[in-house]
Amino acid sequence: MSAVFSGKTVLVTGGATGIGRATCIAFANAGAAVLIGDVDDRAAETVAAITAAGGRAAYVKADVTSAAAMTALVEECVSRFGSMDFAFNNAGVLPPQRPLHEVTEAELDLAIDVDLKGVFFAMQAEIRHFLKVGGGAIVNTASVGGVIADPNMSAYVACKHAVVGLTKAAAIEYAQLGIRVNAIAPGFVVTPMTQHWADSADFRAAFFAQNISGRAAQPEEIAGTVLHLCSPSASFINGALFTIDGGQTAH
């Protein structure tokens, strides 16, 4: 294992599958201890993969929609591993696709609670800790839906645009206190959450027609940017949004 993050600890929400899982494994391979907060018990499989390779990781069942749970998660991270140096706020949901006028209140509430408030509550708890220890780095998962819009995804697009704004606002507030806050905007990545798109010939044809790469990404192709944003090499990157979309938004 590389020792780039040796002696460091990262907190990851939504580490059970997809981008979160790949990023947890990448951090562990780079020497970091990993604490996963998730409501999906498949996070235990991520931990098992890390520990089988000689890394350090643990899983705590934690709901990002609860501010108290996020505070407790940060405390558990510090208690278990002795520190929390980085945070990757990745937990999210993808509401059913339907026209804006047909979105139910329950669907809108779920998107706001997880995709926006979940990031907000996690950041609050993480920033309180970083203020005590003199700094740290936060990376939030937004989406190309935080930059552009697609039809029938109004609730998701609204929340991801909000995550981009929240990232910039926090970066401005805490830049001189040693806390960096950035976000990533992945394009179409094949994960359990997006598998229904990957399985749709019609979707693939429409998507690949407007994406110069002609393919979807794998979660491992997103993880490297998260690690970079937490590394010393990114010490002057703050309040930025890194689009990882194979050229989708350049089209």
* CB atoms closer than 10 angstroms to residue 155: 24
Contacts of 32 (CB under 8 A, 6+ apart): 5, 6, 8, 9, 10, 85, 86
| Active site positions, annotated | 156
Rounded to 5°, the CA angle 17-125-5 comes to 60
| Alpha-carbon span 155 to 101, nearest angstrom | 11
User: Token pair for residue 2?
Assistant: 């590389």
144 touches 187 (CB < 8 A): yes
Rounded to 5°, the CA angle 84-122-133 comes to 35
190 touches 218 (CB < 8 A): yes
Q: Is 115 helix (H, G, I), strand (E, B) or coil?
A: helix
DSSP state of 135: -
User: Token pair for residue 151?
Assistant: 């039809």
Look-up of token digits 């507030």: 173
